[in-house]
Chain A
């Protein structure tokens, strides 16, 4: 100390060293702070990754026929939803949605909540499903009359979990048969359905789609629009329909309508029935896009699309009528021309479709 005090040099060095140490300590402190912040962040990332992993681990299957043990509970109906937990983690059911797919009214969707005090209807119990548990029954108490559901007017059931997964099934279940069986015709990547509700029509007096196998009542010069169900069965690309798509009705009688052909060109997908403000010309800038099969392994296969025909003129929305010679029965053979773009190439096919008839009265 004495030697230090006696020295004439060194004060600047000491001060500089002091500053240096302070600055180095501050930098060290900053690095330590950043390391701790990063550690906290990384812990959060790991925690959320764990949450995501748990969510992905959830897997649920609905066991055929989906709903069993129908009964009543006071004024309400009850049934069991039978499921199997094929995932690696316990599933906690959060909600069940019953969606009447053929109904667009305000009563089409029924929400079933967890059973709790104060809820006397539209609730479920036994919503915890352990891993590996098979034939697990979720008891549902509701006002829905599920036995009345039919294959053509099905319900879609969505079961949602606390972790945010949604599992769905259709009730009653329908598995589409493979190509070539009764019910379909496949031409190229296009599949046309032949069930009772796959072909519909509307007129100014019949504004909601109705099966078109027998159009009754139908009077002369009534504008009509047809709805055809089409599925893209390709798994590699979507199909875009062109404006030349046409629905040709060939009249069968040699008299009256004189075997004339009434051509109904494709109209916009927002069209509803053949009227001035309800039928719109087909615009290739806003085309029908038939989506490819989302999952080729899914037996439900492709996505159904409704393609609408109703215009007498290509690319316009002029109402068209079936040719009739008078108010009597007429028969028509229907051929369809489908022009489309698939994998960037233009295609066109003729579809031997259906045979329909009209009647002047019920």
Chain B
């Protein structure tokens, strides 16, 4: 310890106002550490939550964006005219899971049919009532991620 420091220490011990100054310093430092830590923890939490939500959003939107499906052909068939066969092709960049098929806005098929990229597959529907000859039918196919392919097809005469 240098001579100057020794003198300072002695002066500090001898001073009547030294303890409050020391305590004040300790208190300030403790408060800064405590508040800083709390702020850091809070900031980290908030940013983590935001980052997680944004990550899910980007990931989900990205997956949805990569989906493309095309209804290639709709075949009205059956002796009792209650069958429709739909041919669907995955023309996107992601695997597709077909979740539902609607005919004239009524759900007639639900399930999960997986289509790999470039794959074509068919879904056979059985209606509760016969399709009308020559009737224009509105068909939509929905995927599990929320994309919909839709269009009008006319039944044969």
Bound-state CA distance A126–B93 (Å) is 26
Q: Residues of B contacting A99 with CB < 8 Å?
A: 73, 75
Q: How far is the CB of B21 from chain A (nearest CB, A)?
A: 7
Known pairs A15-B32, A26-B43, A104-B81; A33 contacts B91 (CB<8 A): no
User: Contact: A306 with B28, CB < 8 Å?
Assistant: no
Bound-state CA distance A38–B33 (Å) is 36
Bound-state CA distance A162–B25 (Å) is 75
User: Contact: A94 with B79, CB < 8 Å?
Assistant: no
Q: How far is the CB of B74 from chain A (nearest CB, A)?
A: 9
User: Contact: B21 with A8, CB < 8 Å?
Assistant: yes
Q: Residues of A contacting B33 with CB < 8 Å?
A: 15
Contact with B along A45-81 (1 / 0, CB 8 A): 1011001100100000000000000000000000000
Known pairs A16-B36, A38-B58, A160-B89; A30 contacts B73 (CB<8 A): no
Q: Which of B44, B70, B85, B154 contacts A164 (CB 8 A)?
A: B70
Contact with B along A142-158 (1 / 0, CB 8 A): 00000000000000001
Q: Which of B40, B50, B157 contacts A102 (CB 8 A)?
A: B157
User: Contact: A23 with B132, CB < 8 Å?
Assistant: no
Contact with B along A9-29 (1 / 0, CB 8 A): 101100110110011001100
Q: Is A303 an interface residue (CB 8 A)?
A: yes
Known pairs A11-B25, A104-B78; A164 contacts B156 (CB<8 A): no
User: Contact: A37 with B118, CB < 8 Å?
Assistant: no
* Most chain B beta-carbon contacts within 10 A, residue among A19, A47, A94: A19
Q: Which of B47, B55, B62, B154 contacts A26 (CB 8 A)?
A: B47
Q: Residues of B contacting A40 with CB < 8 Å?
A: 58, 62
User: Contact: B73 with A166, CB < 8 Å?
Assistant: yes
User: Contact: A158 with B91, CB < 8 Å?
Assistant: no
User: Contact: B77 with A109, CB < 8 Å?
Assistant: yes
Bound-state CA distance A97–B85 (Å) is 13
Q: Is A304 an interface residue (CB 8 A)?
A: yes
Bound-state CA distance A272–B43 (Å) is 71
Bound-state CA distance A8–B12 (Å) is 12
Q: Which residues of B8-44 have CB atoms within 8 Å of chain A's CB atoms?
A: 21, 25, 28-29, 31-33, 36-37, 39-40, 43-44
User: Contact: A108 with B32, CB < 8 Å?
Assistant: no
Known pairs A11-B29, A41-B62; A104 contacts B39 (CB<8 A): no
Counting chain A residues whose Cβ lies within 8 A of the other chain, the interface size class is 35 or more
Q: Residues of B contacting A306 with CB < 8 Å?
A: 132-135, 157
User: Contact: B77 with A23, CB < 8 Å?
Assistant: no
Contact with B along A198-238 (1 / 0, CB 8 A): 00000000000100000000000000000101000000000
Q: How far is the CB of B31 from chain A (nearest CB, A)?
A: 8
User: Contact: B129 with A270, CB < 8 Å?
Assistant: yes
Contact with B along A88-105 (1 / 0, CB 8 A): 000000110101011111
Q: How far is the CB of A301 from chain B (nearest CB, A)?
A: 13
Q: Is A86 an interface residue (CB 8 A)?
A: no
Q: Which residues of A298-338 have CB atoms within 8 Å of chain B's CB atoms?
A: 303-306
Bound-state CA distance A109–B73 (Å) is 10
Q: Residues of B contacting A136 with CB < 8 Å?
A: none
Q: Is B123 an interface residue (CB 8 A)?
A: no
Q: Residues of B contacting A253 with CB < 8 Å?
A: none
Give 7 closest A-B pairs by Cβ, nearest first.
A164-B70, A164-B91, A19-B36, A269-B132, A306-B134, A12-B32, A12-B28
| A positions within 8 Å CB-CB of B | 8-9, 11-12, 15-16, 18-19, 22-23, 26-27, 30, 33-34, 37-38, 40-41, 44-45, 47-48, 51-52, 55, 94-95, 97, 99, 101-106, 108-109, 158, 160, 162-166, 197, 209, 227, 229, 269-270, 272, 289, 291, 294, 303-306
| B positions within 8 Å CB-CB of A | 21, 25, 28-29, 31-33, 36-37, 39-40, 43-44, 47, 50-51, 54-55, 58, 61-62, 65-66, 68-70, 72-73, 75-79, 81, 85, 87, 89, 91-93, 118, 120, 129-130, 132-136, 152, 154, 156-157
Pull 20 A–B residue pairs with CB atoms less than 8 Å apart, ordered by A.
Answer: A15-B32, A15-B36, A18-B36, A23-B39, A26-B44, A26-B47, A44-B62, A94-B120, A95-B120, A97-B87, A99-B73, A101-B157, A104-B76, A104-B81, A160-B70, A160-B72, A269-B132, A270-B132, A291-B136, A304-B134
